[in-house]
Amino acid sequence: MHRYFSRVPLYTRRHTLAPNRTTSKRIGRLYNGEPAAWLRLVDRWSPRLYSYIVYNAVSEAEAQKLIYLIFAEAIQAIVGSLRVANLTVLVFSIAHHHILHQRRRHTNPMLPPQPAVADAAAKEERQKADFLHTFYQFAPEVQQILLLRYLCGVSLTEIAQIVGQPEATLTKTIAGAAQTLH
């Protein structure tokens, strides 16, 4: 079970989130207000969405607040319109918007503390800390693109729709960030 939602499994397989021919049927069930459809939506999306949010939230309480806010907006979007074609784009567009808004409000960058290097385990921790330090030096928009791509497994096509940039630009952004992180 997911530790923040008692009915949500901890592990979600990637293919269960990928759009397929039944996506429009799922959206139709959500639009019609079927309780089982809403439960499946939360079950499938909570772990992946929470992983994305927790990397960006200042506190656990803020992460929980954000996930509920994002689901509430997703519900409003689905109930308010039958034009929702892709749940990945819908859910992560809402999350992306809220996270960037939250990051802009907090002007201080969230940099991890730098531990002292003492032994092999401490050296590994130092490397992780250096990686995170470098990661947090990127602009918030670049951080979100990297998190969506590598943490959440969102496709480049879907990220392009979420952030409103062409795929070629995203590919260059990701390649440049990867080169900096290596």
Alpha-helix residue ranges (DSSP H) falling in the chain: 23-31, 35-54, 60-80, 87-105, 120-135, 140-146, 156-163, 167-181
> For the chain, which domains are there?
14-108 (1.10.1740.10)
Amino acid at 116: A
Q: Is 0.75 surpassed by the pTM of this model?
A: no
Q: What is the largest CA-CA distance in the chain?
A: 59
pLDDT band at residue 145 using 50, 70 and 90 as cut-offs: very high
Amino acid at 110: M
31-76: pLDDT as tens digits: 787 888 888 878 887 888 888 888 888 788 888 888 888 888 888 8
- Distance, in Å, from the CA atom of 151 to the CA atom of 53, rounded to the nearest integer, reads 11
Q: Which residues contact 108 (CB under 8 A, 6 or more apart)?
A: none
| Structure confidence at residue 82 (pLDDT) | 55
